[in-house]
A and B are shown apart, each in its own frame.
Chain A
Amino acid sequence: MLGENYNDRLIFSQDAESSHVNALMADNELDFSLTSEQEEFRKEVLRFVAEEPPSSFPTQTENECFGFGCWSYEFTRRVGQKGWIGTTFPREYGGLGLSPVHQFILNEEMAYHKAPWAGHFFAYTVGQALTKKGTEAQKRAFLPRLASGEVQFWQALSEPDAGSDLLNCKTRAVAKGDRYLITGQKTWGSRAHRANHAWLLASTRPELHQKGLSMFLLDMKTPGITLRPIINLAGDASFYELYLDSVEVPRENLIGGENSALQIVIPSLEADRFWARSARIAYCRRVFDDLIAWAKKTKRNGLPVSEDPVFRHGLTELAVEIEVSRLLSLRTVYLMASGKPLTYEGSATKIMADELGRRIAQFARGVIGPDCLDVDVPSCGDSEVSFGREYVYSIGHGLAGGTLEIQKNTIATRGLGLPAMKAA
Chain B
Amino acid sequence: MNLELSERQLILKEAARDFFQKECPLSVVRDYREKGTLDRQLWLKLAELGWLGLAVPEKYGGQGSSFLDLSVTLLEEAGRALLPLPIVETLSGAISLIETGSPDAGAQLLPQIIAGKALVVLALNDEWGDFDSRSAGLRATLAGSAYVLHGARSLVPFAADADLWITVARTHNGTTEDGITVFVVDSHSPGSSIDSHRSVTGRSLHKIIFDGTRVGLDGVLGETGKGWQVIARAACFDAAGRCSMAVGSARRMLELTLEMAKTRVQFGQLIGSFQAIQHQCADMLITVDGMRYATYQAAGFLGRDQPCEKQISIARVCCSESYKQVAASAVRIHGAVGFTRDHEVGLHFLSAQDQELPLAHGDFYRRTIARELLSSR
Contacts and interface: CB of A to CB of B under 8 A. Distances in A.
Interface of A: 1-2, 6, 8-15, 18, 24-35, 101, 292, 295-296, 306, 312-313, 315-317, 319-320, 323-324, 327-328, 330-331, 333-334, 337, 344, 348, 351-352, 405, 407-409, 411-413, 415-422
Contacts of A8: 5, 10, 13-14
B262 A418 contact: yes
Given A8-B13, A27-B6, A28-B8, 20 more contacts: A10-B5, A24-B304, A32-B1, A32-B3, A33-B1, A316-B366, A320-B294, A324-B290, A324-B318, A327-B293, A352-B286, A405-B275, A408-B279, A409-B275, A411-B281, A413-B278, A415-B282, A418-B258, A421-B269, A422-B268
Contact of B2 (A29, A319, A416): A29
Contacts of B279: 405, 408-409, 412
A295 B5 CA distance: 41
Contacts of A415: 282, 285
Interface stretch (B46-54, B165-173, B236-244, B369-377): B369-377
Nearest to B254: A2
B274 interface: yes
Most chain A Cβ neighbours within 10 Å, of B8, B279, B285: B285
Contacts of B66: 26, 29
Most chain A Cβ neighbours within 10 Å, of B66, B254, B297, B311: B297
A416 B281 contact: yes
A320 B314 contact: yes
B374 A416 contact: no
Contacts of A12: 4-7
A30 B281 contact: no
A421 to B, nearest CB: 4
A329 to B, nearest CB: 10
Contacts, number: 176
Given A24-B306, A31-B2, A334-B1, A6 B285 contact: yes
A422 B10 CA distance: 38
A299 to B, nearest CB: 14
Interface residues of B, number: 59
A296 B374 contact: yes
- Chain B binding site: helix, strand, loop or mixed by DSSP? helix
B296 interface: yes
Interface of B: 1-10, 13-14, 65-66, 68-69, 72, 254-255, 258, 261-262, 268-270, 272-275, 277-279, 281-283, 285-286, 289-290, 293-294, 296-297, 300, 303-306, 311, 314, 317-318, 366-367, 369-370, 373-374, 376
B284 to A, nearest CB: 9
Nearest to A334: B3
Nearest to A23: B304
A319 B282 contact: no
Contacts of A25: 304
A332 to B, nearest CB: 10
21 contacts: A10-B4, A12-B5, A15-B1, A25-B304, A26-B66, A28-B2, A28-B9, A32-B300, A35-B1, A101-B1, A306-B374, A313-B366, A316-B317, A316-B366, A316-B370, A324-B314, A327-B290, A327-B293, A344-B285, A412-B282, A419-B262
B223 to A, nearest CB: 27
A327 B285 contact: no
A34 B4 contact: no
Contacts of A328: 286, 289-290, 293
